[in-house]
Chain A
């Protein structure tokens, strides 16, 4: 439990400690989630730890991915100017904001009542916070990152500094982030 206390204050700035922080947090989440599920079992009820699949969110992300890849292809070719892509940047950023609203309105599952009572009785505030954190779906964070990548691509393009190398990097980063979001959303189809 020493590591839990050590990393309780948030993500450390030191890179090495940050890696240790991620590993410790993942292990801790697994243990706590097993407890959550166990509490559900003891309570004799089916546990619900993740949100329902929402086809509109999945389809929205898929559409954004298609639009963004077309935009990146244009930027990578270097054949057209920023002016011809300006509206496409605004459209993709707007689509990302729209899906973010849908994700926010979907809500987050609450921990099983028995576990909440158990943790309240024990009085372990940190464990309660970690359980709540573990139940936060990752999609909202992915969309924030997708928006950041697209906004940086737009800014770099507008400033005339979108070299082939930078365009390649932004495109691959966007695709990697999108793969995370789509994999999670698809996993909710259970």
Chain B
């Protein structure tokens, strides 16, 4: 005989599944963002120091190479953050789907094909 879940039971299970799947990842992404922003800021400051010290006095066009590298770093940082977000969303949603299927199977008392 199948047992119907109590109100809020499935929501709690889904919430737990979502939290368990991303808790560690959220910490990782947070650390990545902080590290990258500090690194990019340091590079920007370094370039300012180089310009102030006259590093490019005899070839000013070379500055564009360095600013171009900084721009690529920022663009790729946002792309990487987007990529990490995609992985997070995939993990959360699949964990929630899995928990939901489990709850339905338990309530129905029959095995269901896994998505």
The interface of chain A, by Cβ under 8 A from chain B, is: 11, 22, 25-26, 29-30, 33-34, 36-37, 40-41, 44-50, 134-135, 137-138, 141-142, 145, 148-149, 152, 161, 163, 165-166, 168-169, 172-173, 175-177, 179-181, 183-184, 187-188, 190
Other A-B pairs beyond A26-B81, A36-B89, A187-B28, 6, CB < 8 Å = A50-B90, A141-B76, A169-B69, A173-B69, A184-B83, A190-B87
* Residues of chain A within 8 A of B25, CB atoms compared: 187
By secondary structure, the B interface counts as helix
Question: Interface readout for B73-115 with A: 1 if CB under 8 Å, 0 if not?
Answer: 1111111111111110111111011100000000000000001
Report yes or no: A165 in contact with B53, Cβ–Cβ below 8 A.
yes
The interface of chain B, by Cβ under 8 A from chain A, is: 25, 28, 32, 35-36, 39-40, 42-43, 46-47, 49-50, 53, 55, 59, 65-66, 68-70, 72-87, 89-94, 96-98, 115
Of A137, A148, A173, the residue contacting B83 (CB under 8 A) is A137
By secondary structure, the A interface counts as helix
CB nearest to B74 among chain A residues: A22
Given A26-B78, A165-B46, A176-B40, verify A148-B72 contact (CB < 8 Å).
Answer: yes
Q: Closest approach, in angstroms, between the C-beta of A100 and any C-beta of chain B?
A: 14
Q: Please, how many angstroms separate the alpha-carbon atoms of A19 and B79 in the complex?
A: 13
Report yes or no: A184 in contact with B42, Cβ–Cβ below 8 A.
no
Given A176-B73, A190-B87, verify A138-B79 contact (CB < 8 Å).
Answer: yes
